[in-house]
Structure 1
Amino acid sequence: MYEKRDFETALELITALSPLDIDHWPRGMYVFRGLRSTKFGLVPSAYRSQSEISARRMWTGHGGVSGGRQVFYEIKMLWSFLEACDASGLQVTGDSIQVRQLLLDAMQFVWNPAEWPPTELLPALATAQHHGVPTCLLDWTRRSYVAAYFAASSAARESESDGELAIWALRVDMHEQWEKLSLLTMPGGTTANLAAQVGLFTVSGIKATGGENFVSTAIEYQDDVYNNLIGPNPGLIKMTLPVSEASELLKLCADLGVRGSVLFPGYEGAAREVIDLAHAYPSFLPKPWPQ
């Protein structure tokens, strides 16, 4: 099971996350993910059955979600993303005539879900994932402070001030021994956001036949992350902080140079930073200009 570490203040957490503490964070051993609530597990967006957009909702009234139907849903999401990019004149990293044909001939994956996703589609899936399309990929970052920013920014925007945010640390130095998960590192040119966030992904495959009922297992409950470890460092760590400290955590991240305009190059990041500032510093909100 994962190791849990609770913190009371933002300063305590940000100090514990320091990459200079190589005893706790040996270089290259861990990747990080920040979430606005400890209630959320490490589940890819395409597998979240309660989401507004999900395979379960697509197949409502059709007898549930089998492995094949889950794959069909994911293919539909990716194909729709590529078509929308076509309409906008946007190039998607890894897209090609061969990729499009692979999607058109996708019934082979519907009948054999264990073969999904094929390597050829991973760059397009990574781009789609990083822009909010549900996929079987889960975002991580190699920088602990980036994960802290995402947890703090999303938690600060919530109206409820109780509960706890979470930052997960996943050990990946033994990822080649994983059986149900895989680690995916994409070139920085895949998307500007991916490069700025030093992002990478875990890929969750479907361990069901085309007709078998599909049930996803959150990463924190998968044996891969706990087996074959060498040394004392845990396979998975969950760090928590009261949501009431989210604004202070945002300020500390900004002091360290981790802010919206840096992690999201372009207008989106500039706007995000303004919203973050408004949450971190209520007095920042615009007031009538003095006469």
Structure 2
Amino acid sequence: MAEVKLKDCYSARELIDYLSPLDRERWPRGHYVFRGQPCASYGLAPAAYRTNSFFTPNNMLGRLGKVQAQGQVFFEVQVLISFLEACDGSGIQVAGDSTELRQLLEQPDRYYIRPSEWPPKTVLPVLATAQHHGAPTCLLDWTRRSFVAAYFAASGALRSTQQQSHLAVWALNIHNHMAWENISLVKMPGGTSANLAAQAGVFTVSSIKATRGEHFESTALEYQEDVYRHQSEEQPGLIKMTLPVSEAGELLRLCSDLGVKGSVLFPGYEGAAREVNDYAYANLPNPFKNESFSGAK
């Protein structure tokens, strides 16, 4: 299998210059989407497929043994049901919600029997909203804007309570996504979520490659053949750019200079507060790395 193209950057300015959308030779318009991660060692696996987080299928169902394919579907259905019930309690309308969707989630037996058919297109708008507000789903976030990915890598690295040496920005070539076999590119209308629109967000989703009764173990996107099938030397399928975490503050400041900041990416009070906290993490000495500027948890 082909490998990820690696680009190690040593300064925030070097990474910003490398990511510049004005470089059409490196980044042909519409050919790549981007993802920022606070730790370069993290793989490209959606939250619902991870095993090292708190809210996972293993923690929820592991007492029953290894999680099987239908158990993975059960976990993801329960997350969506819980998310919609919480939105009901808050009086929040969710894009894509409907009576038909509620009935599907109440009676999902078809997908327990044929896990590879999950998730159906009907649930994608709700999945997208849940994903953009922190619920674990089978979607993996990407953005069409390279500097947005840089912002999330820098902000995440500064906020992280874990020790890491490098952050990462990934670039995925989607030019031939219609030929992918096991991965789908999901584009949702901007009205699905204000955050989605502001962040120019898109998603990838991988099929559950297991049948009912089989143990399900996800394959991170960087190990999937679809990603590399139509790449060329000039247009790699997947690029991983790294930067020392010590440069995260400067990267965040450069993103802000370019108009990519919390108040823009998270419209509303949440974004305004996030921008204040970003300023603190990027500019102030902070011996309590796990505390926000406001002291809130």
Normalized against structure 2, the TM-score is what?
Answer: 0.93
- How far residue 14 of structure 1 moved from its aligned partner, in angstroms, is 0.3
Equivalent-residue separation in structure 1 for 2:72 and 2:4 (angstroms): 28
User: Residues 69-88 of structure 1: CA distance to partner in whole angstroms, max 9, x if unpaired?
Assistant: 00000000001101111111
Equivalent-residue separation in structure 2 for 1:59 and 1:261 (angstroms): 38
Q: Percent identity?
A: 59
Aligned CA-pair RMSD: 1.6
User: Residues 61-111 of structure 1: CA distance to partner in whole angstroms, max 9, x if unpaired?
Assistant: 211100000000000000110111111111110000000111111011011
Provide the aligned length of Structure 1 versus Structure 2: 286
- How far residue 231 of structure 1 moved from its aligned partner, in angstroms, is 6.7
User: What corresponds to 1:210 in structure 2?
Assistant: 212
- How far residue 153 of structure 1 moved from its aligned partner, in angstroms, is 0.5
User: Residues 166-221 of structure 1: CA distance to partner in whole angstroms, max 9, x if unpaired?
Assistant: 00000001000001100000000001000000001001110101100001000000
User: What corresponds to 2:125 in structure 1?
Assistant: 123
Equivalent-residue separation in structure 1 for 2:26 and 2:255 (angstroms): 20
- How far residue 280 of structure 1 moved from its aligned partner, in angstroms, is 1.5
Equivalent-residue separation in structure 1 for 2:22 and 2:256 (angstroms): 18
Q: More displaced, 160-169 or 78-87?
A: 160-169
User: Which of 84, 89, 92 does residue 90 from structure 1 map onto?
Assistant: 92
Equivalent-residue separation in structure 2 for 1:38 and 1:281 (angstroms): 23
User: Which of 151, 164, 177 does residue 175 from structure 1 map onto?
Assistant: 177
Q: Output the amino acid matched with 1:89.
A: G
User: Residues 234-274 of structure 1: CA distance to partner in whole angstroms, max 9, x if unpaired?
Assistant: 00000000000000000000000000000000010000000
User: What corresponds to 1:139 in structure 2?
Assistant: 141
Equivalent-residue separation in structure 2 for 1:66 and 1:35 (angstroms): 28
Q: Sort the Cα spacing of 1:272 and 1:206 in 2 relative to 1 into closer, same or farther, 3 A.
A: same
Matches within 5 A, 1:34-183: 34-158=36-160, 162-183=164-185
- How far residue 232 of structure 1 moved from its aligned partner, in angstroms, is 2.5
- How far residue 228 of structure 1 moved from its aligned partner, in angstroms, is 2.6
Equivalent-residue separation in structure 2 for 1:185 and 1:252 (angstroms): 28
User: What corresponds to 2:289 in structure 1?
Assistant: none
Q: Contact 1:162 / 1:244 at 8 angstroms: preserved in 2?
A: no
- How far residue 279 of structure 1 moved from its aligned partner, in angstroms, is 1.4
Q: Contact 2:230 / 2:237 at 8 angstroms: preserved in 1?
A: no
Question: Secondary structure at the residue paired with 2:202?
Answer: strand
Equivalent-residue separation in structure 2 for 1:246 and 1:13 (angstroms): 11
Q: Contact 2:151 / 2:251 at 8 angstroms: preserved in 1?
A: yes
Q: Contact 1:226 / 1:235 at 8 angstroms: preserved in 2?
A: yes
User: What corresponds to 1:289 in structure 2?
Assistant: none
Q: Sort the Cα spacing of 1:206 and 1:119 in 2 relative to 1 into closer, same or farther, 3 A.
A: same
Q: More displaced, 151-160 or 205-214?
A: 151-160
Q: Contact 1:44 / 1:204 at 8 angstroms: preserved in 2?
A: no
Normalized against structure 1, the TM-score is what?
Answer: 0.95
Unaligned stretches of 5+ in structure 2? 287-291
Equivalent-residue separation in structure 1 for 2:71 and 2:50 (angstroms): 14
Equivalent-residue separation in structure 1 for 2:200 and 2:152 (angstroms): 13
User: What corresponds to 2:20 in structure 1?
Assistant: 18
- How far residue 160 of structure 1 moved from its aligned partner, in angstroms, is 6.0
Question: Secondary structure at the residue paired with 2:241?
Answer: strand
Q: Output the amino acid matched with 1:249.
A: L
- How far residue 230 of structure 1 moved from its aligned partner, in angstroms, is 5.7
Q: Sort the Cα spacing of 1:162 and 1:82 in 2 relative to 1 into closer, same or farther, 3 A.
A: closer
User: What corresponds to 2:265 in structure 1?
Assistant: 263
Q: Contact 2:39 / 2:164 at 8 angstroms: preserved in 1?
A: no
Q: Output the amino acid matched with 1:202.
A: T
Q: Contact 2:7 / 2:242 at 8 angstroms: preserved in 1?
A: yes
Equivalent-residue separation in structure 1 for 2:164 and 2:156 (angstroms): 14
